[in-house]
Chains A and B, each alone.
Chain A
């Protein structure tokens, strides 16, 4: 099992079409890059995520026209605690990219992608339901899997696996 180490140097990865496009648009939007196990990850500043997605969708070089998934990872107790993870797929280019937004536990809100892809609706509701992250501009941000009156956010790391007793 030879493990190749991840590339995290922006200089080496700046020619990747998605990175290049984002850098050309707003170099402060790209906070980190990582190329690991054949997968590209771009850390995006919180205030830029919606525009960055719209840009990657509409740019002919990138053409990330399909939103595969939105989810979240809780890195409790370290800060920034949450990472909202977006997986985009380019059907014409047959390529994937992963975008990440890091959130401090003090302000758990990020712009909703529903205006870019209406399909983000259920994914964002699920993240809201299970992690308690608010998506500003979401048309109907309510619990989706858990009962409406549920207390707590089950997928957070400080929530016990067997639930509160």
Chain B
């Protein structure tokens, strides 16, 4: 909240410009982003994003929790892709512990991650189109998102704050009928993407509002630290799932959509194609789902099954110890990054050998992507600011943490 009293940007004699305050209570700032705009008529001269309204000190809170207790906090950072955050965090802790994760758990994680990506992109597409004036798409997107949320509820008991992944595996076996339901969804979803594309891709109004708007060159995007579709929309070919695979992504075949133009439309095309690619990954995960355990063989870290607890003394002791004292993690530090729907989501965890993390830092993709906004908007029309904000797909919870 740095700009409560913005530095005066009006020089004496320069009375052509005025300061316009946009947000934090503005329907198209996707939460509580405040943007200060210096405008000359309809042209944006300068732009200053102002963040921090949603800062809850999650990084500080993590330092007072056991490693497992941090997982629910990671949901709440980026509430549109909880599973991605869960995954990134547990991968980082598992790297610290050097745990081996059984294949079935890895594949389930990939499956749920891609559903999360679809979920997140659907919210983005709906709200982005709504910002630009296409009401119908919003309703269509939320119809399909509802089904994904029901799948999440089925598997984790929660629609949004899933906390389904555990250090060393996943919480529970998926219930009966889960795979059929996902298969159904993956079967009909591509035709729904066709529906969205019918409404938008060739639509002359959509093209006028998005093509050539909020341009970002590849050099600028790299220098400003943009990642994910914001970077790929400018023609930089990087996807961590393919280039630095984690959690068994090397077993999946998928294309990484790239657009060269670097405008709002390019970023839109990247994400819409990612919807199709993610469905493809979901199909592959369903077809090749391995059998076996869903938790690593590490009794000091992973909670024992309920059945064992009732029959084996050891299991009961380990359960008591893990719940009351947590599990100690060897000293060291790791940085684990995953490709979240918005870009490079990274967790930097420092352990001092105790049961609580010494330091947890989240590398937020949105925070870096937000820095590209002034570059996109300065010198452009005021009306395009809304399209630009929508096109970088920000989640303020992740920016402010």
Mark contacts of B328-349 with chain A using CB atoms, 8 A cut-off: 1 yes-contact digit, 0 otherwise: 0010111101000000101010
Q: Per a CB cutoff under 8 Å, which of B2, B57, B63, B330 touches A144?
A: B2
Assess the B244–A144 pair: CB atoms within 8 A. no
Q: Does B224 contact A (CB under 8 A)?
A: yes
- Of residues 1 to 24 in A, which have CB atoms within 8 Å of B's CB atoms? 1-4, 6
* A residues near B238, Cβ cutoff 8 Å: 91
User: Can you list 26 contacts pairing A with B, beta carbon distance less than 8 Å?
Assistant: A1-B298, A36-B333, A37-B95, A37-B96, A39-B335, A66-B225, A69-B335, A69-B361, A71-B361, A73-B358, A74-B359, A89-B337, A91-B236, A96-B244, A119-B226, A120-B225, A122-B368, A123-B225, A123-B368, A146-B55, A147-B52, A148-B4, A154-B57, A154-B60, A155-B59, A161-B64
Assess the A87–B335 pair: CB atoms within 8 A. yes
What is the CA–CA distance of A145 and B287 in the complex, to the nearest angstrom? 45
Assess the A67–B225 pair: CB atoms within 8 A. yes
Q: Taking A69-B348, A87-B363, A155-B60 as contacts, is the C-beta distance between A119 and B1 under 8 angstroms?
A: no
Assess the A121–B95 pair: CB atoms within 8 A. no
Assess the A85–B4 pair: CB atoms within 8 A. no
* A residues near B354, Cβ cutoff 8 Å: none
- Of residues 34 to 87 in A, which have CB atoms within 8 Å of B's CB atoms? 36-37, 39, 41, 65-69, 71, 73-74, 85, 87
What is the CA–CA distance of A91 and B218 in the complex, to the nearest angstrom? 13
Q: Does B38 contact A (CB under 8 A)?
A: no
Taking the nearest CB of chain A, how far is it from the CB of B360, in angstroms?
10
Taking the nearest CB of chain B, how far is it from the CB of A92, in angstroms?
9
Mark contacts of B70-106 with chain A using CB atoms, 8 A cut-off: 1 yes-contact digit, 0 otherwise: 0000000000000000000000000111110000000
What is the CA–CA distance of A96 and B368 in the complex, to the nearest angstrom? 18
What is the CA–CA distance of A120 and B370 in the complex, to the nearest angstrom? 12
Assess the B222–A143 pair: CB atoms within 8 A. no
Which residues of A come within 8 Å of B, CB atoms? 1-4, 6, 36-37, 39, 41, 65-69, 71, 73-74, 85, 87, 89, 91, 94, 96, 98, 117-123, 125-126, 130, 142-148, 154-155, 159, 161
* A residues near B99, Cβ cutoff 8 Å: 1
Q: Taking A69-B346, A91-B236 as contacts, is the C-beta distance between A144 and B51 under 8 angstroms?
A: yes
Assess the A161–B363 pair: CB atoms within 8 A. no
What is the CA–CA distance of A66 and B225 in the complex, to the nearest angstrom? 6
* B residues near A144, Cβ cutoff 8 Å: 2, 51-52
Q: Does B217 contact A (CB under 8 A)?
A: no
Assess the A119–B243 pair: CB atoms within 8 A. no
Q: Known contacts A4-B98, A126-B367, A147-B52; can you find 17 more A-B pairs with CB under 8 A?
A: A1-B97, A1-B298, A3-B98, A3-B330, A37-B95, A37-B98, A41-B333, A66-B222, A71-B363, A117-B225, A118-B224, A119-B226, A123-B368, A143-B2, A143-B52, A145-B51, A145-B400
Which residues of B come within 8 Å of A, CB atoms? 1-2, 4-5, 51-52, 55, 57, 59-61, 63-64, 95-99, 222-227, 236, 238, 243-244, 298, 330, 332-335, 337, 344, 346, 348, 350, 358-359, 361, 363, 367-368, 370-371, 400-401
Taking the nearest CB of chain A, how far is it from the CB of B47, in angstroms?
13
What is the CA–CA distance of A142 and B359 in the complex, to the nearest angstrom? 23
Assess the A147–B358 pair: CB atoms within 8 A. no
* A residues near B98, Cβ cutoff 8 Å: 1-4, 37
* B residues near A98, Cβ cutoff 8 Å: 333, 335
Q: Taking A6-B332, A39-B335, A154-B60 as contacts, is the C-beta distance between A122 and B371 under 8 angstroms?
A: yes
Assess the A117–B223 pair: CB atoms within 8 A. yes
What is the CA–CA distance of A130 and B64 in the complex, to the nearest angstrom? 17
Assess the A71–B225 pair: CB atoms within 8 A. no
Assess the A147–B4 pair: CB atoms within 8 A. yes
* A residues near B298, Cβ cutoff 8 Å: 1
Assess the B371–A143 pair: CB atoms within 8 A. no
What is the CA–CA distance of A1 and B299 in the complex, to the nearest angstrom? 11
Assess the B371–A119 pair: CB atoms within 8 A. yes
Closest to A98 in B: B335
What is the CA–CA distance of A55 and B52 in the complex, to the nearest angstrom? 33
What is the CA–CA distance of A66 and B365 in the complex, to the nearest angstrom? 13
Assess the A142–B2 pair: CB atoms within 8 A. yes
Q: Taking A71-B361, A118-B224, A148-B1 as contacts, is the C-beta distance between A37 and B334 under 8 angstroms?
A: yes
* B residues near A2, Cβ cutoff 8 Å: 98
What is the CA–CA distance of A121 and B51 in the complex, to the nearest angstrom? 14
Interface centre among A2, A68, A98 (most CB of B within 10 A): A68
* B residues near A6, Cβ cutoff 8 Å: 332
Taking the nearest CB of chain A, how far is it from the CB of B400, in angstroms?
6
* A residues near B57, Cβ cutoff 8 Å: 154
